[in-house]
Amino acid sequence: MRLDKYLAETAQCTRSEAKNLLAKGRVQVNGTVCKKGDTQLKAGDAVAVDGQPLQYQQYVYIMLNKPEGVVSASTDKRDTTVVDLVGDAYPRRQLFPAGRLDKTSTGFVLLTDDGGFAHDILAPKRHVSKTYTVVLDTPLTEEMCAGFAAGVTLADGTALSPAQVTALSQDRLTVQVVLKQGVYHQIKRMFGVYGAGVNGLHREAIGSLGLDPDLAPGQWRELSLEEVSKITR
Ligand code: URA
């Protein structure tokens, strides 16, 4: 890769800012100042700016706690999107949400620029689970649990894979739902089969990676590669 492109990607700056750093002699390759943006880097070359080593990261993975009213998209004409919440922290990255939550739903949304990974975790055959806390307007019944465990058929004929649903509260109005599928409005439609409405829906985890409790609604942070691996583990 060319040094100026590498700089822009690792130091999160534009190409012209990268050129500026180079022109000012602030960039070192293997300890020697280098001013040429078209220098081809070899594997193992160590690049530093002002003596601080840069580490190349091919993709970025972000955990966001989506607040109500924000849409799961990259851009939108009317509404704030999950990508808007990250602001201009990653000007060189084309971030998008890997999986959607409804505008009224809250919780864990994964943002990335890694299309292959997003495709993998959304593919039904990969069986990556998503765990939700759901508030119902009608108590959870044994009939619903048995139906979801066997796989219910939605009003439009879509046959759903088995889903695990358990009561979290004594009144059986707050429940945990674990899905390995991502059909549009799946949870609302599942409960709709039994005439139950959903008053609140919060995504707690993707795979075995739980939403960081320190992230308030609207806050986000980058994930370590160890955390990313928990998503598919
Ligand atoms: N199921 C829904 O109905 N809504 C969501 O946001 C997620 C799953």
Closest ligand 1 atom to residue 188 Cα is 3
Ligand 1 pocket test target in 64, 128, 199, 201 with most atoms within 8 Å of CB = 201
Phi, psi of 74 (to 5 degrees): -85, -40
**Cα–Cα distance measured from residue 213 to residue 108, given in angstroms and rounded to the nearest whole number:** 10
- Do the beta carbons of residue 13 and residue 89 sit within 8 Å? no
**Alpha-carbon span 139 to 71, nearest angstrom:** 29
What residue ranges line ligand 1, CB within 6 angstroms?
101-102, 105, 185-188, 201
Give the C-alpha separation, 97 to 80, whole Å: 13
Beta pairing class for 52-53 and 61-66? unpaired
For the chain, give me the number of helices (H) and strands (E)?
7, 13
Between the CA of 100 and the centroid of ligand 1 the distance, in Å, is 8
H/E stretch holding 148 reads helix 142-150
pLDDT tens, the chain, 233 aa long = 899 988 988 876 788 889 999 999 999 999 999 999 999 999 889 999 999 998 888 899 999 999 999 999 999 999 999 999 999 888 778 999 999 999 999 999 999 999 999 999 988 788 899 999 999 999 999 999 999 999 999 989 999 999 999 999 999 999 999 999 989 999 999 999 999 999 999 999 999 999 999 999 999 999 998 999 999 88
Residue 185 CA: nearest ligand 1 atom is: 3
Q: Is 102 one of the annotated active-site residues of the chain? A: yes
| Helix (H) or strand (E) segment spanning residue 210 | strand 209-210
Are the CB atoms for 118 and 100 separated by under 8 Å?
A: no
Identify the active-site residue in 45, 84, 102, 212: 102
Return contacts of 78-84, CB within 8 angstroms, 24+ apart. Answer: 79/103, 82/109, 82/111, 83/111
Output the CA 169–ligand 1 centroid distance in Å: 20
Q: What angle do CA 123, 129, 132 make, to 5 degrees?
A: 125
